[in-house]
Amino acid sequence: MTNMVPIIRLYKMLPPVNSLVILLAIVLAGFPAFADSPAPDLHFIGRYDFAWSGIPLASAELQLDETRDSYSVHLELFSRGIVNIFTRHRSDTTVKGDIIRGAFRPRLYESHYWTKNKPRHIRVAFDARGVMTEELVEPPEDRTERPEVPHSLKDGTIDPLTLILAVPRGSDKPHVFDGKRLWEGTAEKGAPAAIRAYDGSRDAVPYQLSRKALSGLTRKEMLDYLKGEPVLTFYFSADDRHIPLYTWISVYLGRLQGALARECKTWDECRIE
């Protein structure tokens, strides 16, 4: 039981959708891409398991779809194991967008999530120029606790889910808005390496992700951020699909990690009960 407190603190510090992100999501900002040539059409569905030092924390289902000029991402996440003793969490998040001259441009980002069975809803929409046309947060934020991100800074931003497609296709220092907070992200590409996957060894390319807080953080979030954040590492498959295979981050003298557990042909096949 001595590990219980850090596990719960870890879980609570993770943004609800940045859950794969997380905590994947969960975690860090997205990065727009500037590809040298159009990527082939992509359709991928996979299930991921997350754990801290071997203790199960969550499971997620991810779907990625990409054509020459559009993309979409769907992520569902459910807390597991010891976390559910204290605070159950689940989320259902989607994004649909355009690919313009190699850059990923979200058009509609929407997240429904529940913590301790309390529902929350975020919806952010942009026009073709990247100008924000809709912003909804339910229940509304208490502006005495969380300052509002200036509207002028929201235009041209991308969302956390978009990073899953964008990171392995290039990197920059974009502004990322998750419906509450604004970040500047950075991705550094590492040397290719072979990693162990659920179906054997796979060639992968690592990216180290970090972020800089810009606006929208509560006082508590800012104090936690100023203490310093560890780097988040993602491994993507080294083929044309660039599938996320594995992610990890050092926290609380342990390792929070997420790994692809299986690939599926349909959403229902990988559905988390």
- The boundaries of the domain holding residue 99 are 4-270
Token duo for residue 140? 């509304």
Q: pLDDT, tens digit, for every residue of 125-139?
A: 999 999 999 999 999
What is the structure's pLDDT at 15?
A: 42
* Separation between Cα atoms, residue 58 and residue 181, nearest integer Å: 23
What is the structure's pLDDT at 174?
A: 75
192: buried, middle or exposed (CB in 10 Å: 19+, 13-18, 0-12)? exposed
* Separation between Cα atoms, residue 161 and residue 200, nearest integer Å: 27
pTM confidence score: 0.85
Q: How distant is the alpha carbon of residue 36 from its chain centre?
A: 24
What are the C-alpha distances in Å from 221 to residues 102, 125, 144? 34, 25, 14
Token duo for residue 166? 């964008």
Token duo for residue 82? 């010891």
Give the total number of structural domains in the chain. Answer: 1
Model confidence at 13, in pLDDT bands (50, 70, 90)?
very low
Model confidence at 40, in pLDDT bands (50, 70, 90)?
low
What is the structure's pLDDT at 8?
A: 37
- Average pLDDT estimate for 183-202: 93
